[in-house]
């Protein structure tokens, strides 16, 4: 239980601002980590697989930078769980390790770069996606590029890679593939999970069934126990000032039931309420979940992918870095959820890679109203 408790700090804190004392403590940890002796087995991008390479937006020219091309593929990475710079990655010590003692993960990426890099400005504009969404991932026309055209006309290379590990993968988004934490004996980590269902995630007409997460675009944490008497489901009229009324355990089940109780099919990833989930009510489910994702590795995906693009000549198998050599500056930006993500990226020391180099020269978190931890995470 304690192992899951530490892992779900991501959940418990995802809307809570951190105190000044907490920031000082984190800053102290970062200072100490920076002073530590470099560990030989550095985190890095080990393999860059480019699966697509096409002229961008029909081969139109962008100012003096000329024609751009878009590359898509998968970046394979690994981190050293013993390196102090990774100490803020909760549950990293509980992730599976390869034969070198490293924790592996991967993520899809895209790069939009001048065909002739000599015509560019030798700078990276890292546009961090929001919940996997980035308009440039599949932009096909100049109109699709929108306001990003200014960066292309200035000669920037634009890049991004997935960081959020609880997204359901698809070709339309960037979803990171992060490992699952387990107990030392390999058994599942189990702990309480709280989910709300309301007009934020229920259809206007209501429904009998939903994924446990409440949103099909996100992965649900599987229940470890389908006996509903070991979970609690309540309903109330509003989020504030209304009492929570318990729903009897025999009036709902773990499963899908598109037309009600008679259509119930048991499932460990779904909930079925026999009387129907109403859009004008607020439901709270607390259940024993299992198999937590090592979500904080998301920051390592951004750090190590961006560091590779800036500093490396090739990956471990000799695949050339498509931007090398000559990158002189790198900048990152993100708004709302992603703005909060980038603030954490800075505060927790991820702007220093495991070779103790600066990743981004400037970071612009936009509309990040509260420095929260993994806003809208698992």
Distance between CA 174 and CA 298 in Å, rounded?
12
pLDDT of residue 183: 97
Q: Are strands 66-79 and 61-62 parallel, antiparallel or unpaired?
A: antiparallel
pLDDT of residue 42: 62
Q: 5 falls in which pLDDT band (50, 70, 90)?
A: very low
Which letter does DSSP use for residue 319 in this model?
P
Calculate what percentage of the chain has a pLDDT beyond 70. Answer: 86
Distance between CA 138 and CA 264 in Å, rounded?
38
Per-residue pLDDT averaged across 238-252, rounded? 94
| pLDDT for 150 beyond 70 | yes
Interval 312-356: pLDDT, tens: 999 999 999 999 999 999 999 999 899 999 999 999 999 999 899
For residue 270, the SS3 value is strand
Per-residue pLDDT averaged across 220-231, rounded? 98
CA-to-CA dists, residue 330 to 161, 362, 364, angstroms: 15, 7, 12
Per-residue pLDDT averaged across 173-193, rounded? 97
Q: 135 falls in which pLDDT band (50, 70, 90)?
A: very high
> What's 152-208 look like in SS3?
HHCCCEEEEECCCCCECCCCCCCCCECCECECCCCCECEEEEEEEECCCCCCCCCEE
pLDDT of residue 367: 81
pLDDT of residue 240: 86
Please state the φ and ψ torsions of residue 106, each to the nearest 5 degrees.
-150, 165
| pLDDT for 198 beyond 80 | yes
Range in 31-45, 122-136, 203-217 the model is least confident about? 31-45
Cα first-last separation, the chain? 18
Distance between CA 337 and CA 342 in Å, rounded?
9
pLDDT of residue 312: 96
Residue 351 contacts residue 27 (beta carbons within 8 Å): no
Closest by Cα among 24, 140, 76, 122 to 305 = 76
pLDDT of residue 175: 98
Distance between CA 272 and CA 209 in Å, rounded?
4
| pLDDT for 79 beyond 60 | yes
Distance between CA 246 and CA 285 in Å, rounded?
10
Q: What is the mean pLDDT of the chain?
A: 88
Calculate what percentage of the chain has a pLDDT beyond 90. Answer: 83
pLDDT of residue 368: 73
């Amino acid at each position: 239980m304690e192992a899951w408790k530490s892992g779900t700090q991501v959940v418990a804190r995802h809307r809570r601002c951190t105190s000044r004392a907490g920031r000082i403590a984190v800053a102290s940890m970062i200072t100490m980590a920076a002073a530590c002796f470099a560990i030989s087995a550095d985190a890095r991008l080990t393999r860059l697989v480019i699966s697509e390479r096409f002229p961008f937006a029909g081969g139109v020219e962008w100012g003096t930078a000329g024609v751009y091309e878009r590359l898509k593929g998968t970046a394979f990475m690994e981190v050293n769980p013993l390196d102090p710079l990774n100490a803020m990655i909760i549950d990293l010590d509980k992730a599976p390790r390869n034969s070198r003692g490293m924790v592996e993960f991967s993520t899809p990426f895209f790069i939009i770069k001048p065909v002739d890099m000599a015509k560019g400005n030798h700078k990276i504009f890292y546009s961090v996606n929001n919940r996997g969404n980035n308009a440039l991932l599949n932009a096909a026309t100049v109109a699709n590029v929108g306001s990003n055209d200014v960066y292309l006309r200035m000669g920037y290379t634009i890049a991004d890679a997935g960081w959020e590990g609880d997204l359901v993968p698809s070709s339309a988004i960037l979803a990171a593939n992060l490992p699952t934490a387990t107990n030392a004996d390999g058994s599942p980590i189990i702990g309480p999970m709280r989910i709300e269902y309301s007009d934020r995630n229920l259809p206007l007409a209501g429904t009998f069934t939903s994924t446990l997460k409440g949103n099909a675009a996100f992965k649900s944490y599987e229940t470890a126990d389908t006996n509903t008497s070991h979970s609690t489901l309540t309903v109330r009229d509003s989020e504030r000032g209304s009492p929570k009324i318990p729903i009897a355990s025999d009036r709902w089940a773990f499963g899908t039931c598109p037309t009600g109780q008679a259509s119930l099919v048991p499932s460990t990833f779904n909930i079925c309420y026999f009387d129907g989930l109403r859009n004008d009510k607020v439901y709270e489910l607390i259940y024993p979940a299992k198999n937590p994702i090592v979500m904080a590795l998301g920051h390592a995906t951004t750090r190590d992918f961006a560091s590779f693009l800036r500093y490396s000549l090739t990956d471990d198998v000799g695949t050339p870095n498509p931007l090398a050599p000559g990158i002189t500056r790198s900048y990152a930006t993100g708004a709302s959820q992603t703005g909060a993500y980038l603030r954490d990226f800075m505060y927790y020391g991820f702007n220093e890679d495991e070779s103790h180099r600066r990743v981004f020269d400037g970071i612009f978190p936009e509309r990040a109203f509260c420095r929260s931890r993994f806003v809208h995470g698992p």
